[in-house]
């Protein structure tokens, strides 16, 4: 969570934007009590960032998630998920961020999207706000861009998730019941960029130029320029070698030279 937390030194009256949530950036693909199990993972440190990848099991889905903290402030989440049974129900709550919205944070949040802005009042927000386009920004402090995802949605909180904190949920990729007919079908294949300390204008600029990369099967990638005009390419080979046998071949690396970062996870 710390990697996507905007700085608070210049916002001492309203210091916090996000609040802890167990599935920050990971989310879920079912609405049942299916346990989310980590079957394998790797972490690689670079000179100015890190990359981590995990193989997860949730219900009838094999999930492969990579999170890359890049030079500067961007954080990239790459994900692929495969259904392993016929007639499987998918309810995606992907790339979630818990937004604190209570008295301590000023009692409101401002959402910026492609079509304008709106205020979300603490404890009085609609159950579901559909955010137009593939980017959004909260309070000109935290941006998100999602490529090849489902709908971006903001869900207003009602009660407190712990003493003194009420949270809204912001999903970068959200879908209701979708039936997956055949096993072996890719149900998720997307890339997201989280931009701490970035206003809505710069978020839009990043979103306009960002592009998914056409890559071999199982490889997910994105290319973009951050607000400081540093170019980034993030790649991840999201697969396992044997069904239900965690692959040990996931390796990670982060390189940064000549102002160009090239994080990659290759199997």
Question: pTM here?
Answer: 0.88
Give the pLDDT confidence score for residue 261 in this predicted structure.
47
**Three-state SS letters, 181-231:** CCCCCEEEEEEEEEEECCCHHHHHHHHHHCEECCCCCCEEEEEEECCCCCE
Closest to 143 in 3D by CA, of 194, 187, 209, 178 = 194
Token digits of residue 114: 């492609």
Q: Residue 243's pLDDT is what?
A: 47
* Residues 146 and 173: beta-carbon distance below 8 Å: yes
Neighbours of 229 (CB within 10 A): 8
Helix, strand, coil % in the chain, rounded to nearest 5: 5, 50, 45
Task: Output the CA angle 56-25-262, nearest 5 degrees.
Answer: 90
CATH (domain of 249): 2.70.98
Low-confidence ranges of the chain (pLDDT < 70): 1-3, 7-15, 33, 158, 162-164, 241-267
d(CA 3, CA 43): 15
- Cα 17-20-23 angle, rounded to 5 deg: 120
Q: Is beta strand 75-83 parallel, antiparallel or unpaired with respect to 61-69?
A: antiparallel
Q: How many domains does the chain have?
A: 1
Would you say 136 and 205 are in contact if contact means Cβ atoms under 8 Å apart? no
Rounded to whole angstroms, the Cα distance separating 167 from 109 reads: 11
Query: Residue 20 is part of which domain span?
Result: 2-266
Please tell me the predicted confidence (pLDDT) of residue 87.
74
Question: Please, what's the b/e burial string for 165-204 (b: 16 or more CB within 10 A of its CB; e: otherwise)?
Answer: bbbbbbbbbbbeeeebeeeeeebbbbbbbbbbbbbbebbb
Tens of pLDDT, residue by residue over 60-89, are: 899 999 999 998 889 999 999 998 888 778
Closest residue by Cα to residue 62 from 207, 189, 147? 189
């Amino acid at each position: 969570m710390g990697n996507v937390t905007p700085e608070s030194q210049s916002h001492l009256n309203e210091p916090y934007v996000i609040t802890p949530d167990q599935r920050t950036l990971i989310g879920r693909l079912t609405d049942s009590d299916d346990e989310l199990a980590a079957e394998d993972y790797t972490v690689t440190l670079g000179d100015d960032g890190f990359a981590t990848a995990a193989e997860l099991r949730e219900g009838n889905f094999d999930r492969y998630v990579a999170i890359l903290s890049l030079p500067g402030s961007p954080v990239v989440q790459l994900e692929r998920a495969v259904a392993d049974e016929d007639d499987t129900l998918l309810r995606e709550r992907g790339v979630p961020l818990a937004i604190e919205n209570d008295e301590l944070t000023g009692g409101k949040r401002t959402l910026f999207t492609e079509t304008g802005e709106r205020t979300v009042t603490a404890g009085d927000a609609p159950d579901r706000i559909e955010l137009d386009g593939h980017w959004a920004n909260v309070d000109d402090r935290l941006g998100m861009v999602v490529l090849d995802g489902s709908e971006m949605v903001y869900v207003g909180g009602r009660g407190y998730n712990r003493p003194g904190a009420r949270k809204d949920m912001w999903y970068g990729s959200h879908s209701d019941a979708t039936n997956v007919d055949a096993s072996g079908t890719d149900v998720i294949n997307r890339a997201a960029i989280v931009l701490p300390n970035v206003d809505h204008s710069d978020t839009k600029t990043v979103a306009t130029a960002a592009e998914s990369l056409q890559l071999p099967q199982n490889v997910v990638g994105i290319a973009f320029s951050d607000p400081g005009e540093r170019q980034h390419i993030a790649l991840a080979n999201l697969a396992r070698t044997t069904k239900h046998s965690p692959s040990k071949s996931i390796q990670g690396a982060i390189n940064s030279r000549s102002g160009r970062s090239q994080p990659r996870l290759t199997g």
